[in-house]
Amino acid sequence: MRIAASLRAIRCVWMRYFDVFRKSAFYYLVTTFSEPFLYLLAFGFGVGSLVGAVDAGGESVSYRRFVFSGILGQTVLFQGFYEASYGGFIRMYYQKIFEAMAMTPITLSEVLWGELAWDASKATLAAAIIACIGAALGDFPPYAPLAVIPVAFISSLLFAGLGLAVAARSRTIEEISYPQYLVVFPMFLFCGVFFPLEQLPVPLQWAAWVLPLTSVNSLMRTLTLGFPLEWWSIPILAAWLVALVAYSRRAMFGRLVK
């Protein structure tokens, strides 16, 4: 009974975000998809024409297909993190809507679950549309858009957890830049979006495997390019998911509730 009531409340919060998204759909679509498209054009088609094929995961694939699959991971990282960190900070600190919603029959815990669920949904939508384009171009198999949804949702929930924790810990909106440049960008550059991990020195490969984006990219390439499953990606992602979502909620409660 209580779980059903909580799920209804989380849905209610999610609908609030969806309503905002729906009313400004064109703006959101342009800002959400322009970035991955630009990466795809620059690296997939531009650099891809210079590089040709790459050997990764025991397979040889065109660089465009390799990067295209990596852009799925980059999309869930950026979409999940930015929506929760900058967006979450604005909603918490400037708009104060977390507080406004948590003074209704919806609890703060449900507000935060609704926030994370929405951030993950929006990032998953972006990843699914990019996978659709990949399938339409013949770079991914036709089932790829559906196949990537579970991994995209779980990984964007994880990155949204990171973003919400950052929002909770930042005293000013400028402070969000620290984790952005010290954590998110290194992940983006060194976790296998643009080149196979095997190109890195072994200690850096191990370091990259500790970070969650490497596991996301590994699973995305299994689903879209048929690379062999690196099973340890699953427990790594699960551990990060539990740790970051739990920490983000704790940090947000610490920030908002005395």
Dihedral sign for Cα 79, 116, 112, 81, please.
negative
Side-chain half-sphere of 134: how many Cα atoms within 13 Å?
33
Name, in order, each residue with C-beta under 8 angstroms of 178's C-beta and a sequence gap of 6 or more. Answer: none
25 is a site residue for another protein (CB under 8 A): no
Question: Judged by CB under 8 A, how many residues of this single chain contact another protein?
Answer: 23
Q: How far is the CB of 15 from another protein (least distance, A)?
A: 7
Name, in order, each residue with C-beta under 8 angstroms of 162's C-beta and a sequence gap of 6 or more. Answer: 80, 81, 84, 85, 179, 183, 184, 244, 248
Using CB under 8 A as the binding rule, the residues of this chain from 218 to 257 that contact another protein are: 256-257
| Among 27-35, 39-47, 96-104, 223-231, the segment contacting another protein (CB under 8 A) | 96-104
Q: Could you say which of 20, 38, 42, 229 contacts another protein (CB under 8 A)?
A: 20
| Among 38-46, 64-72, 95-103, 218-226, the segment contacting another protein (CB under 8 A) | 95-103
Q: What are phi and psi of 52, to 5 degrees?
A: 80, -120
Q: Could you say which of 7, 100, 146, 204 contacts another protein (CB under 8 A)?
A: 100
CB of 110 closer than 8 Å to CB of 6: yes
Residue 140, number of CB atoms within 10 A of its CB: 26
Q: How far is the CB of 257 from another protein (least distance, A)?
A: 6
Show the site string, 104-133: x = touches another protein by CB under 8 A, - = not.
xxxxx-------------------------
Residue type (1 letter), 210: V
Q: Which is nearer to another protein, 99 or 175 (CB)?
A: 99
> Which residues of this chain interact with another protein, rule CB under 8 A?
5, 9, 12, 15-16, 19-20, 95-97, 99-108, 256-258
